[in-house]
Chain A
Amino acid sequence: MRITCPLCGTRDRREFYYYGAEDYLHRPAPDAAPETWDDYLHLRDNPAGETRDLWYHELGCASWLVVTRNTVTHEISAVELVAEVSA
């Protein structure tokens, strides 16, 4: 498996650390309802198809990445910098 870091180029999977669903980028407001926080912290979709995850280029440039991949075909269709996605 290879991931194309937007900065470093195509790199081996061993250079990256998996963090979890992209949901972590959508933190609720501090005064949001408890259900919203519960959803944010604990509830995740488990799609057969396209999913977006956070990865960390640990052994490379130390950038956080959003990787869009398909859980059925294993195709990686996009890799973006978190810094640009959430800017």
Chain B
Amino acid sequence: MASLIARSPLAGQAPLVLGRLRLAEGRPGPITSLARLKDRPLDALLEAAGLSFPAPNSMVSTETHRLVWTGRDQAFLFGPPLEGLGAACAATDQSDGWASLLLEGPGAEEALMRLVPLDLRLTAFPQGRTARAPLNHMQAILMRTGPEAFTVLVFRSMAQSAWHEIGTAMRSLAARAAIG
């Protein structure tokens, strides 16, 4: 078989720095969707790994893994798949299906709130909070990963659109700041 080259959804895209905000492609690594199945011991398996099934709009992290709530009885596991996962839930590999965008800098929420109809200020959306929410018309997964940092996941096919939309919001904010 020919030697294939794996490309990330935004391969070749240089980070966009405007004002104090920086947008870059993230490399989330393996992503596994976990969906609960009746009478399967998912909680015990997660507990053994130091994790627990996250409550809606939140995530649970360890040094090696991050488990993010993504829907009713469903969460995305970031990090190497856990041993025995297939027997404990409906586990599907999502790694190549999503594009990850990292937005960092003071006031990052100002840019995102131009596209997401949620209150993303630190007081309302603190570190560790997540949301399934629209980024304009895109079905995104939002994570507050730091006081001034967000990770946004969109379907891989929408990587360029998401990049363009967030970039446009950043440009508008930078232009406004330049006017004073």
Contacts and interface: CB of A to CB of B under 8 A. Distances in A.
A45 interface: no
Max count, chain B CB within 10 A of own CB: residue among A59, A60, A83: A59
Interface stretch (B1-9, B25-33, B130-138, B161-169): B130-138
A29 to B, nearest CB: 25
B18 to A, nearest CB: 27
A7 to B, nearest CB: 4
Given A8-B56, A9-B57, A14-B117, A62 B71 contact: yes
B72 A8 contact: no
A8 B134 contact: no
A2 B152 CA distance: 24
Contacts of A83: 72
A7 B57 CA distance: 8
A69 B131 CA distance: 25
A86 to B, nearest CB: 14
B139 interface: yes
B134 A81 contact: no
A81 B73 CA distance: 12
B72 A7 contact: yes
Contact of B56 (A7, A11, A59, A62): A7
Nearest to B133: A60
A63 interface: yes
B134 A15 contact: yes
A59 B133 CA distance: 6
B72 A15 contact: no
A61 interface: yes
B133 A15 contact: yes
Interface of A: 7-9, 11-12, 14-15, 58-63, 81, 83
Interface of B: 56-57, 70-72, 117-118, 131-134, 137, 139
Given A12-B117, A59-B137, 9 more contacts: A7-B72, A8-B57, A11-B117, A59-B133, A60-B131, A61-B71, A61-B72, A61-B132, A62-B72
